[in-house]
A and B are shown apart, each in its own frame.
Chain A
Amino acid sequence: MRPQLPWRRRRLFEQTPQAEVDDEIRFHVEERIREYIARGMDPAAARAAALERLGDLGSVRSECTQLLAEDRVAEARRDWFDDLRQDVRFGIRSAVRTPLFSLLAISTLALGIGANAAVFGVVKSVLLNALPFGDADRLLRIYSRMEDGSMERSSISAGVTVDVRERQRSFAQVATFFQGVIDVTYAGDATPRVVKAALVGEGFFPTLRVSAARGRTLTDADTKTGAPNVAMLSWPAWQRELGGSASAIGKSVRIDGDSYEIVGVLPRGFVGPMGAADIWLPLDISPDLRDPVRARKHHWLAIIGRLTPTATRELAEREIARLGADIAHEHPESQGGMALWAIPLRNDMVGDTRTPLLVLMASAGLVLVIACANLAGALLSRSLSRRKEFAVRIALGAGRGRLVRQLLTESMVLAVAGGAAGLALATLGLRGLRHLALPALPAYADLALDPVAVLVTSAMTLVTGVAFGVAPALSVGRGNTQGVLRDETRGTSESRPTRRLRGLLVAGQIALCVSLLAGAGLLVRSLWPWRRHRWGSTLTPCSPSRSRCHRTHTTRLTCARASSSVSRSVCDRFLASPVSPARASCHRPT
C-alpha cells in the first residue's frame, strides 16, 4: 500500500462529496455521448439518449452523495484512531526514554490516587453503605444518662424497658436486648471453645427487619420462660463451626453445658447493634422483673425502636425525654437523676467517625490536587526544556493541535500508569487498614475496594491526565517558533520569558509545598483526638470502672438467665472472680 498523507493534509486536496459525485457522473455521460456520436448520432440526440439512459439523475446524485459522505466520516474516525495509537506508542516510548522522570510522575500519582481510593473505600463502607438492617434510617437507640453528666450512654433496667415499651407512641416496634456480648463455651462436633454470644429479647429481629438466611429468626415465643432452648448462628460461625452445611438447622449443640437447638442462620454481613457475635440466644427478662430490686436497679439492657410511618425523629426524641422524666418522677429511689434520650441508630453505630472521615477524605483529595499540580509543574518545566524540539517539529510542518494532542496523550499514558499503580497501592493500603483500624471502625464496616471506588478513581485518573497535560500543552501552543529556534540554540542562556516562567513555577511549587504541609498538619490535628477516643456502641467503655461495670452486667445477665440455665458455671465463676465486688459501681448510689 502506498504511504498515505496525514489526514488533515489529504482533506485539503479532496473535493466535497457532492462535487466528486458530479465529476464522476459528468465523465460517464460525456463518455456515453462520445460513444453515441461515434455510432453516428447527432450531438443533441446523443446527449438526450445518454441522459435518458442514466435514469433519474437527481436521485442517483443524492444517493451517491450521501453514501460518500458517510464513507468519509468513517474514514476520518479510522484515521483518528490510527493517530491515537501512534501517539500512545510515542508516549510510551518517550516515557521509557526518561525513566527517572516517568518513575517520579507515576509514583507521585500512585500515592495521590492510592490514598484517595483507600480513603474512599473506608468512607464508602462506613458512611455510604447502609447498616445491615432494613430501612435503618427509621431506627432509634434509647440510652439513659446521669443528669450530673457522669454517664452519657448508659444501659437501662428491665423495669424501664417495660415502661418504655408500654407507654411510648412514636415507635411501631421496640426491641430489647443485652447491650454487649458475653463469652460462652460452645461445643458442636469439635472440642469446646469460647465464642461470643449476643442475647436478644422481645421484638429484636422484626424491629431491625432482618430475616434469617437459613431457618428462622428468634421469635418472642422463644424468649418466654420455659420455652425450649434455641439458638441462631452468625454466617461466619455457621461456615466455621458447621462448614455451612444445610443440616445445621435442627442440630443440637451444647452451649455452656446445656443443649440448644439451632433454628436459623443470620445473613452474611449481619452485625447487631451490640457488635459481632457468633451465637444469638433468646433473652428472658421476666426473672429480673419478678425481683423488685433487680427490676429497677440493675441497668443492663438496651432498647431500639422503629419509628411509626407518621412519627418524626424529633417527635420521638421529645417523647422519650418526657417519658424518662415521668419514670424518674415515679421511681425516685432508682431513677432519680437519670434521664432517657434517643439517638438515630446510624449516628450511634457510626459514632463520631463522620466528621473525621470527611476531613480525611478532603485531605486525601488535597494530596491528589497537590500531586497533580506538582506533576503539571514538572511536565511544564520539562516541556520548557523540550521547546526547541517542538519548534523544530512545527517548522517541519507539524500542526500545533497535533502537538498539543500528543502532549496530552503523553501525560495520559503517565496518568493511566499512575492510576493502575495507585489502585494496587490502595488495595494494599486497605488490607493494612483492615488490620490496623478495624477496632476503631463501626462493626459493620467491610473495608474493601468496591467497584464505585475503582470507577471514581479511574475518573480521577482521566481528569488528572487532562489537567496536568493541559498546562505544558498550552505553553507549546503559545510559543513563537522562530524566536525559540533563535534564542535557544545550544549554549545560549535561557531567554527572559523562559526564565520568568521557571521562576513562577518555583514560586508555585513552594506555595504548594506550604499548603501541603499545612494540610498535613490539619490532618494530624484532626486525627489526634482519634488516638484516645474510641467510638461506636460496639466498644465497651474504656474507663476501668465502666469496663468493670460491663462485666458486672454480664454477671447479672448470666444470673438473670440462670433460671433458664444459660450458664450457672459462668455465673458462679464471675461471682467468684475479683471483679464482682465492683458490681456496686454500676448501680446508682442509693
Chain B
Amino acid sequence: MFAKEAGLLQGTLELLVLKTLSWGPMHGYGIASWIETATDDVLRVEEGSLYPALYRMTRKGWIGGKWGTTENNRRAKYYHLTSEGRRQFVEQTSGWQRFASAVNQAVASTRAPSWAR
C-alpha cells in the first residue's frame, strides 16, 4: 500500500486536487503533474480515477470547470475552486493533519504496550 509508487486513496485524491486548485485554476493534466512534482514523484495519480473524481467534485459543487486556452494556445478545461470548495479544503486539510499525525505518532511510538513486556 505504501510502496514507492503507491496509488492514492479516494479521499486523499480529492484533498490533493483541492490543494492544487488553491494555487489557481488548472486543467486535469496540470493537476496530475503538480501532484507528482509536489510529492517528488512519490505519489502517482491514477489518471483513470482523476477525471471521474474531478466530475464528481464538480457535481458536489466544490469545483467548477470552464474552457480556456493554454500558453500553447490549445483549448483545455480549467477547473477552479468554488467558495464551498475553499471551505472543504480548509476543513479537510485540518482533518488530514490530525489523521496523519495520529498515525505517525502510533507508527513512530517507542513505548511497548504492557502485554509485550
Q: Does A28 contact B (CB under 8 A)?
A: yes
Chain B interfacial residues counted at CB < 8 A: 16
Q: Write out, one digit per residue, whether chain B residues 24-58 have a CB within 8 A of any chain A CB (1) or not (0).
A: 00011100000000000000001110011001101
CB distance from B16 to the nearest CB of A (A): 17
A60→B52 contact, CB < 8 A: yes
Q: Given the complex, which residues of B lie within 8 Å of A56, measured CB to CB?
A: 48
Which residue of the partner chain B has the closest CB to A24? Answer: B77
Determine, out of A67-75, A94-102, A243-251, A350-358, the stretch whose residues face the partner at the interface: A67-75
A27→B52 contact, CB < 8 A: no
Q: Given the complex, which residues of A lie within 8 Å of B117, measured CB to CB?
A: none
Q: Does A85 contact B (CB under 8 A)?
A: no
Secondary structure of the B contact surface, majority rule: helix
Q: Does B4 contact A (CB under 8 A)?
A: no
B47→A53 contact, CB < 8 A: yes
Given A28-B29, A71-B55, A71-B58, the answer on whether A55 and B48 have CB atoms closer than 8 Å is: yes
Q: Does A311 contact B (CB under 8 A)?
A: no
A-side interface residues toward B, CB under 8 Å? 20-21, 23-25, 27-28, 30-32, 53-56, 59-60, 63-64, 67-68, 70-71, 74
Q: Given the complex, which residues of A lie within 8 Å of B46, measured CB to CB?
A: 55
B55→A28 contact, CB < 8 A: no
Complex CA distance for A537 and B32, rounded to whole angstroms: 88
- 5 examples of A-B residue contacts, CB within 8 angstroms: A24-B28, A28-B28, A53-B47, A64-B51, A71-B55
Partner of B52, one of A28, A32, A64, A71: A64
B59→A31 contact, CB < 8 A: no
CB distance from B35 to the nearest CB of A (A): 14
Q: Does B76 contact A (CB under 8 A)?
A: yes
B59→A25 contact, CB < 8 A: no
Given A27-B74, A67-B55, the answer on whether A60 and B48 have CB atoms closer than 8 Å is: yes
Complex CA distance for A249 and B2, rounded to whole angstroms: 81
CB distance from A293 to the nearest CB of B (A): 93
Q: Does B75 contact A (CB under 8 A)?
A: yes
Given A32-B29, A68-B55, the answer on whether A27 and B48 have CB atoms closer than 8 Å is: no
Q: Given the complex, which residues of A lie within 8 Å of B56, measured CB to CB?
A: 67
A54→B48 contact, CB < 8 A: yes
Q: Given the complex, which residues of B lie within 8 Å of A64, measured CB to CB?
A: 51-52, 55
A60→B51 contact, CB < 8 A: yes
Which of A28, A54, A64, A74 counts the most chain B CB atoms within 10 A?
Answer: A28
Q: Given the complex, which residues of B lie within 8 Å of A54, measured CB to CB?
A: 47-48
A27→B47 contact, CB < 8 A: no
B51→A27 contact, CB < 8 A: no
Q: Given the complex, which residues of A lie within 8 Å of B47, measured CB to CB?
A: 28, 53-55, 60
Complex CA distance for A547 and B22, rounded to whole angstroms: 93
Partner of B27, one of A27, A70, A71, A74: A27
Partner of B76, one of A27, A32, A59, A60: A27
Q: Given the complex, which residues of A lie within 8 Å of B77, measured CB to CB?
A: 20, 23-24, 27
Q: Given the complex, which residues of B lie within 8 Å of A21, measured CB to CB?
A: 51
11 extra A-B contacts, CB within 8 A, seeds A24-B28, A59-B48: A25-B51, A28-B28, A28-B29, A28-B51, A55-B46, A55-B47, A60-B48, A64-B51, A64-B52, A67-B59, A68-B58
Q: Given the complex, which residues of A lie within 8 Å of B76, measured CB to CB?
A: 24, 27
CB distance from B76 to the nearest CB of A (A): 5
CB distance from B57 to the nearest CB of A (A): 10
Which residue of the partner chain B has the closest CB to A59? Answer: B48
Interface set, chain B 44-98, CB cutoff 8 A to A: 46-48, 51-52, 55-56, 58-59, 74-77
CB distance from B101 to the nearest CB of A (A): 33
CB distance from B72 to the nearest CB of A (A): 9
Q: Given the complex, which residues of B lie within 8 Å of A27, measured CB to CB?
A: 27, 29, 74-77
CB distance from A450 to the nearest CB of B (A): 43
Which of A23, A54, A56, A67 counts the most chain B CB atoms within 10 A?
Answer: A67
A-B pairs, top 10 by smallest CB distance, nearest first, are A55-B48, A67-B55, A31-B29, A28-B29, A63-B52, A54-B47, A24-B77, A27-B76, A64-B55, A71-B59
Complex CA distance for A387 and B9, rounded to whole angstroms: 62
CB distance from B48 to the nearest CB of A (A): 3
Complex CA distance for A32 and B76, rounded to whole angstroms: 14
Which of B28, B47, B58 counts the most chain A CB atoms within 10 A?
Answer: B47
A67→B52 contact, CB < 8 A: yes
Which of A20, A27, A55, A56 counts the most chain B CB atoms within 10 A?
Answer: A27
Q: Given the complex, which residues of A lie within 8 Å of B75, measured CB to CB?
A: 23, 27
CB distance from B39 to the nearest CB of A (A): 17
